[in-house]
Structure 1
Amino acid sequence: MSRRVTWPLLLALPGLVLAVAGLFHPHGLSYDTSWRWFALHVPGLLVFPLVGAALAALVRGRRDPVSWVVRLTAYVYATFYSALDVISGIGAGWVTHELGPGVPRPPAVSLMFRIGTPLGEIGSWALLACVAVLAADQLARLRVPALVGLVLLPGAYLVHIGHIFAPEGVAGMALIGLATGALAVVQDRVSGSAAASG
């Protein structure tokens, strides 16, 4: 498989994997859903940061201020969203499961959400900032073909309001994955056309 296919696919994969995971994400945490809640967030710890890495990869090799803003906001997203995943996903899911059936959720577990949720909020705002800057940058550089990058904006917004819960979060992660991969294709085609005409 050529790099023209593998590179966009690699960049699209994190968002698409999280979209699929979101289809299985319980909408509430109880003993009955706790093991799936926990089990989905453990691999999520490896995949959530890759969404930021994929976005940052779209400005690889550049040293201008805009590229550093994209990298910084992608890093803030990856860091704070991972904190949400660890605290409200892995931690709360594990504790709820370990308490056993029929045990009401103790205040301590609710306190985990009280810190995990605002950390995730910082991460999702950083994701929104990242995709807004990236989409504007790609439009300025690549013009009409980069319009596909605008799909990142509703994607990040849907993740902001819906995490990876279906339907909003699933759709949001899918849009981010597809748009990230599509921008990689556009970059490759534009640079190939420039090289051919140069």
Structure 2
Amino acid sequence: MSRSSRGFLVAVPGLLLAGFGAVHPAQLDAATAPWWTTLHIILLPVFPLLGVAQWSLLTPAPRWLKWPGRLAAFGYAAFYGGLDAVAGIAGGTVVHAQHGATPVVGAVFMAGDQVGLIGAACFLAASVLIVVAAVLRAGWWAVPGGVVLLLASVSFLDSHIFWPRGVLTMLGVAAGMPWVYLAGERSAEKEMTR
């Protein structure tokens, strides 16, 4: 597989999530509940792909960065999937069944937000370790992509994929990940030609 193809593959999860974010309801109510639930069922296997991309980006990292980074990427996939299941699928189901938001859905969202924040913090931690590894490998070439990835990762702490900020956040992830990857590959290629 070519270097550019691999770079594109790490961008795909962010691009998919940006697209889904563009059609994500802004609010959960009786009218949006069926689509809200369906969308989060569709997203259940998509969100973990960000963790897969992070895992992949950590492949060339030194062990002392690779394994904590991969543990954080796993934590993201596990806990953020919890948010998707609880606030997404369960929240939408409750609102649909009760024909509107009630205190029950508030409790469901509170639980979902707690696990989602843990997942998003794990995503940020893995992104920090990816950027450190990329800068160690590629030097200044990795800095612009690293800045984009880190800004998007910080935004992800509270933006989810909601329009417009969450969509821009996912586009930042989709730009930053391949940028960091390609900087590292460029550096490795230069080292091989010396």
Above 0.5 in TM-score?
yes
Task: Calculate percent identity across the aligned residue pairs.
Answer: 32
1:188 equivalenced with 2:181 (yes/no): no
Name the structure 1 match of 2:16: 17
Shift of 1:62: 5.0
**How far apart, in 2, do the equivalents of 1:184 and 1:121 lie?**
26
Q: Report the CA distance between 1:63 and its aligned residue.
A: 5.8
Partner Cα separation in structure 2 for residue 68 and residue 51 of structure 1? 17
Question: How does the TM-score come out when normalised to structure 2?
Answer: 0.93
Match of 1:150 in 2: 147
Deviation at 1:106, TM superposition (A): 3.0
* Partner of residue 161, structure 2: 164
Q: Structure 1 CA distance, aligned partners of 2:137 and 2:2?
A: 22
Aligned equivalent of 1:137, options 115, 133, 146 = 133
What TM-score do you get using the length of structure 1 for normalisation?
0.91
Q: Indicate the residue corresponding to 1:104 in structure 2.
A: 100
Offset of 1:98 from its aligned partner?
A: 3.4
Runs of 4 or more consecutive aligned structure 1 residues displaced over 4 Å after TM superposition = none
Query: In 1, Cα distance between the equivalents of 2:186 and 2:136?
Result: 16
Partner in structure 2 of residue 6 of structure 1: 5
Unpaired runs of at least 5, structure 1: none
CA–CA distance in structure 1, aligned partners of residues 95 and 2 of structure 2: 44
Summarize the Cα distance change of 1:187–1:141 in structure 2 as closer, same or farther, 3 Å threshold.
closer
| Root mean square deviation, CA, Å | 1.5
CA separation of 1:115 and 1:161: change in aligned 2, threshold 3 A:
same
Q: CA deviation at 1:105?
A: 2.2
Q: Which runs of 5+ in 2 are unaligned?
A: none
Matched residue type, 1:105: A
Q: Which residue of 2 aligns with 1:126?
A: 122
